[in-house]
Amino acid sequence: MKIVSTPENLQVLYEDNHLIVVNKRVGDLVQGDKTGDTPLPDLVKAYLKKKYIKPGDVFLGVVHRLDRPTSGLVVFARTSKALERMNALFSLRETQKTYWAIVQQPPPQPEATLVHYLKRNPQNNTSKAYIKAVPDSKLAQLSYTTLRILDRYTVLEIALHTGRHHQIRAQMAAIGCPIKGDLKYGFPRSNPDGGIHLHARQLQFIHPVSKEPLTIIAPPPDEVLWNLVC
């Protein structure tokens, strides 16, 4: 049964006076859209307001985003200073992001670095990966290693070196390995929960205020295939 996130059941991975990190469930919106569904930032604000009995509005800055069908950690800033500094960390690529992905076809090599040029199509909200630069394309680079081989699927660990629209989804599809459930990028069947098997597993960065190194890990969804990985 699909669990819908609420202020009461948020999976909080890390929290202090400056940051809060949440394990996003499949289907949670990081940014509001035309569906009108309550976005995750509003749920986090409600959680903070109730926990700390805060009068008035609660400040919460969105540092980065995850696609609605994916799961995993999302960082929010609780102060404007933390937001400004976290934005700088992400902009300067001073964070290390690790994802897990489940694909059906094993990749051509058990580990590799992929370099493509991604061009976004706003009409259907997709990105296409090209081997060479084309007009309006952006360089996209990631590295993957094979984490585990299951009976019918392969689990990959992916390190992002750039942050492009649908980057992992587009680049994996480009080498014949669309992510399980990702109809938009060529997987033949949808997942029952409407999500895809892509999970933001780990984030490493220097805390914007304390300057302490942080490593935050998000457990994957409680689901048959993911349970075989952990």
* Catalytic sites, residue numbers: 67
How buried is 74 (Cβ within 10 angstroms: 0-12 exposed, 13-18 middle, 19+ buried)?
buried
Alpha-carbon distance of 80 to 6, in angstroms, equals 25
**96-103/198-206 β-pairing:** antiparallel
Element (H, E) at 147: strand 138-149
* CB atoms inside a 10 Å sphere around CB 163: 15
Degrees, nearest 5: CA angle 80-84-89: 145
Alpha-carbon distance of 230 to 222, in angstroms, equals 10
131 Cβ contact partners less than 8 Å away, ≥ 6 residues apart: 116, 117
For CA atoms 26, 32, 33, 35, give the dihedral sign. Answer: positive
